[in-house]
Structure 1
Amino acid sequence: MSMHGAPLPPRSCLDRGTRSPTNDREVNAMRAAAWHRHGVAALPVAEIADDWLRQAVINEANRRWGRRNGENHHGR
C-alpha cells in the first residue's frame, strides 16, 4: 500500500508481474525483426515439414548449445 503522492517504486526488467505474456503475433514479429535486423532466423522446429531439414536444424542446435531439457529422443 502506498501513500497518496508517494513516488512509484523503481521499474526493473526483472519485475515479471507487470506485463502480460507475449502472444503468438508478438513472437512472430520478434522473429521477423531478428531476421531483418540481425540475420538471425528463429524457426519453431515442429513447424519444419521436411524431415531431413528439421533434423539438420536440430543437429546444428544441439552441436552449438547442447540438447534441450526434456527433448524427445525418438524422432519428431
Structure 2
Amino acid sequence: MSIPGAPSLSRSPIGRLRSPTSEPELNAMRAAAWHRHGVAAIPVDDITDPWLRQAITNEANRRWGRRNGGNAHGR
C-alpha cells in the first residue's frame, strides 16, 4: 500500500533478494580467489590435521580477533 503523492521506492539492487550461495558456487569462488589473488579460503572445520587447524586458527585470531560463534573446542 502506498500513500497518494508519496515518492515511489527506489529500485535499488540492494533491495533484491538473492538465493543463498550453493556449495559448488562457494568452491568456485574459493578457487578463483586462490588462482587470481593467492588467497586460500578453507573452512577451518575442513582441516583434518589438528596441529595445522590450530596454527591457522591462532593466526586468524591474531590478525582479526576471535570469532563470534562456531566451535569453541572445549571452552
- May I ask how many residue pairs the two structures share in their alignment? 66
The runs of 4+ residues in structure 1 deviating greater than 4 Å are none
SS in 2 for 1:30: helix
Q: Distance in 1 between matches of 2:69 and 2:60?
A: 15
Tell me, which stretches of 5 or more residues in structure 1 are unaligned? 2-8
Shift of 1:33: 0.3
Tell me, which stretches of 5 or more residues in structure 2 are unaligned? 2-9
C-alpha RMSD of matched pairs (Å) = 1.9
TM-score under structure 2 normalisation? 0.76
Q: Distance in 2 between matches of 1:16 and 1:23?
A: 18
State the structure with bigger RCO (CA 8 A, min sep 6), 1 or 2: 1
Shift of 1:10: 3.0
* Percentage of matched positions with identical amino acids: 70
